[in-house]
Amino acid sequence: MPEWLVLTLAMLAACVVVVIITLLRHRAASDDEDITETPDVIEYMTMWIGVVYAIVLGLAIAGVWEARSAAEADVQTEAVALHEVSERARVYPADVRDRIRADVNAYVGHVVTTEWKAMADHGEVTDRGTELLDRVRADVTDYEPRSDFEAQAYQPLVDQVALADQARNARAQSTGATMPGVVWFGLIAGAVITIGMVFALQIRRTTRELVLAGLFSALIAFLLFLIWDFDAPFSRGVAASTDPFLSLFPGAGD
């Protein structure tokens, strides 16, 4: 099911639930109930519950957005480091240079065509990707420079391979959900409490109040969906892409 459809259904469901509860509450209310009088303490509690929950939502959104941005930065770092390895290998003899570039291209091709799907479907990187990167490392580290010029290029190449490996490990750690389960429990419980406090204000069955209550619940549903969507940087709607690899290695996706 498309994620936009899930979001739409979730927002509609939140609106429908609030409207149904309001209508049922209004029907069950006694005839002598004074809906114009709401204790000041309830209004005060409702205000502060809304403020606290808004802060929690803001922190949650900031947290998942930061995790997603860090995942994108790791992908960019890995792609740039591998491109530097491929380019700096030009100082080596033709056979060594071609072997390094071929292994780099093989690794990048595997990442964008196979490993990315594995991260989205299973939340983990592949053993084959690790093997291919180890082959690149062996190509670089096992070569013995034959001149001062090659010796000067050796250590920077080793450093770039290490940087790519470090970025890959960071990418592997970001494949799953970043939000702990206890936080999700707090977010959902807070949503129920916040929306529930609307009924403590003795909402009436007027069109204006029903529309506002429905929009308020739909907004909370949208924000929760947004957090869920950002929570897995490589597997959901607004996911990190392979563009950094494809821009530096145009033929990798073929």
pLDDT tens for residues 84-111?
A: 999 999 999 999 999 999 999 999 999 9
**Radius of gyration (Cα) for the chain, nearest Å?**
27
Helices and strands (DSSP H and E) totals, the chain: 9, 0
- Rounded CA gap, 244 and 75, in Å? 7
Say if 80 falls within a structural domain. yes
The residue type of 192 is V
Tell me what the mean pLDDT of segment 34-50 comes to.
Answer: 68
- For the entire predicted model, the pTM comes to 0.77
Say if 170 falls within a structural domain. yes
pLDDT of residue 177 exceeding 60 = yes
- Rounded CA gap, 82 and 14, in Å? 47
Quote the Cα angle for 122-127-130, to 5°.
Answer: 120
Would you give the distance in Å from CA 188 to the centre of its chain? 19
Q: Which residue has the higher pLDDT, 205 or 146?
A: 146
Domains: count for the chain: 1
Say if 137 falls within a structural domain. yes
Contact in structure between 140 and 157 (CB atoms under 8 Å): yes
- Rounded CA gap, 194 and 211, in Å? 17
Task: Name the residue range of residue 59's domain.
Answer: 46-246
Name the residue among 235, 233, 231 with its Cα closest to residue 75. 233
